[in-house]
Structure 1
Amino acid sequence: MHTSWQLSEQGDRCLRVQFSGELSLDTGLRCTRAARLLREQAPACVRDLVPSFTAVAIHFYPDGSTDQLARLRDYVHHALVDLDAVSDQVAPGALVDIPVCYGGPFGPDLPILAEQLGLSQEHLIELHGSQPQLVFMVGFAPGAPYMGILPEPLNVPRRATPRTVLPKGSVAIANRQTIIYPNESPGGWHLIGRSPVSLFDARRSPAALLAPGDQVRFVPLPHEQFDLWTPA
């Protein structure tokens, strides 16, 4: 056991580094930094490292030896020995601008949500893009980023009734987080806009545009520019 994280077995092919605390920017940054340090020193048997909101999963191939778990535990402790010394708020990944057409046909929940929160639509949009948002994890669908933390005035639960279909690129918020749906899919978050950016393309390397530890700046895009937008 460590003072700031705990290591446990998850089945016979995974270890989990669990950090204390609930969803927060600090915990998210610790997870993404831990994943980076673990990746830099990973032994050959480690096949994947998956950070989430409060933990990092270390997936590995069993090699049949009796001391593999002991060696993996030593690797984790060695890789994270200096993690507690890092106290800055700098994310380890890239800073990515994502254009968004807010409101109207692109974000039908925007006016309802603004009224519910006692904000103008313009102020809600301003708050949503007021600071870069950390990509905590990628999941739910290939390339779908979970980002935050949103300002407290935008703290709303999920919709009471999910939608069965959301368009590709839908930008939605709930629980002080933002998600972008990379493909047409169901979803239960509040739809405030849509982005023309392609988040996942299997022909691209890497296929996912965003990775845990990246930061996203949301940039308003005029509605008439949606179909005209091209990557810089």
Structure 2
Amino acid sequence: MTVQRPSISLLGTTALIFEAPGEMNLDLQQRIWALAHETQAWPEIREAVPGMNNLMLTFLHPPRGAGALQALEARLHDAWDAAVARPREGRVVELPVVYGGPGGPHMADVVAHTGLSIERIVELHSAPLYPVYALGSHPGYCYLGGMDARIATPRRKVPVLSIPGGAVSIGGAQTGVSASAGPSGWNTIGSTSMCFFDPAEDPPAALQPGDMIRFRVEGIVR
């Protein structure tokens, strides 16, 4: 049996990306959090930013030469092998969602793909307590884990030029909420109201990895 190894790639001269092997799940993501916690204290690292199944490290002191880079990569591999899942005790945030209607223009596409009724899709989507795995895509946006596989729907072949902030969408096996207006290739099935990012706050992002989101059904519009 071949053991998958993480991959490490340079992002120009100022950062690298560490990509963990295996399929996305909470245990793997918690190991990413553990690796971020450790590497943030390394003297050559400016910032450790967890992503989905990956970790971006920006350099305070970039490695000079192939030997220094290889040594850093070896330390990362060793740290990953030793990493133990690091749970985070976050907040539980409840978001009221109106499913379907003008705020969920792609609900019909999810119905067509899954073969499920709107009511069943809403039931399955609102049932889990979704852990926030990482922040990214745009300021304040949360990548969530834990969506029921029965409502997984492929991303749209033609992205939508603009969806509003608060759009609740499904993209593949994931779901998320747009923190601000912008383009999207996901299927929007509902809407909620919450300010996810405020540069005047500290921290500016309302949610952090380890927080949990629960979608509360505010209504269903056909």
Measured against the shorter chain, the TM-score band is: 0.7 to 0.9
CA contact (8 A) 1:37 1:80 kept: no
**2:212 corresponds to 1:211:** no
**2:59 corresponds to 1:60:** yes
Matches of 2:100 and 2:92, distance apart in 1: 22
With the length of structure 2 as denominator, give the TM-score of the two structures.
0.80
CA contact (8 A) 1:38 1:80 kept: no
With the length of structure 1 as denominator, give the TM-score of the two structures.
0.77
Q: Look up the SS of the partner of 1:146 in the other structure.
A: strand
Which residue number in structure 1 is paired with residue 143 of structure 2?
A: 146
**2:190 corresponds to 1:189:** no
For the structure 1 residues 26 and 139, does the alpha-carbon distance in structure 2 shift closer, same or farther, using more than 3 Å as the test?
A: same
For the structure 1 residues 64 and 6, does the alpha-carbon distance in structure 2 shift closer, same or farther, using more than 3 Å as the test?
A: closer
Matches of 2:105 and 2:215, distance apart in 1: 18
**2:93 corresponds to 1:94:** no
Q: Look up the SS of the partner of 2:96 in the other structure.
A: strand
CA contact (8 A) 1:33 1:213 kept: no
RMSD: 2.9
Which residue number in structure 2 is paired with residue 226 of structure 1?
A: none
**2:161 corresponds to 1:169:** no
Q: CA deviation at 1:4?
A: 6.9
Matches of 1:58 and 1:42, distance apart in 2: 10
188-197 or 11-20: which moved more?
11-20
- Correspondence list, 1:17-166, <5 A: 17-39=18-40, 41-43=41-43, 45-62=44-61, 69=69, 72=72, 76=76, 80=80, 82-83=82-83, 85-86=84-85, 91-97=87-93, 98-166=95-163
For the structure 1 residues 5 and 218, does the alpha-carbon distance in structure 2 shift closer, same or farther, using more than 3 Å as the test?
A: farther
What is the aligned residue count?
215
In structure 2, the gaps of 5 or more residues are: none
In structure 1, the gaps of 5 or more residues are: 224-232
User: What is the letter of the counterpart of residue 177 of structure 1?
Assistant: Q
CA contact (8 A) 1:134 1:148 kept: yes
Q: CA deviation at 1:213?
A: 3.5
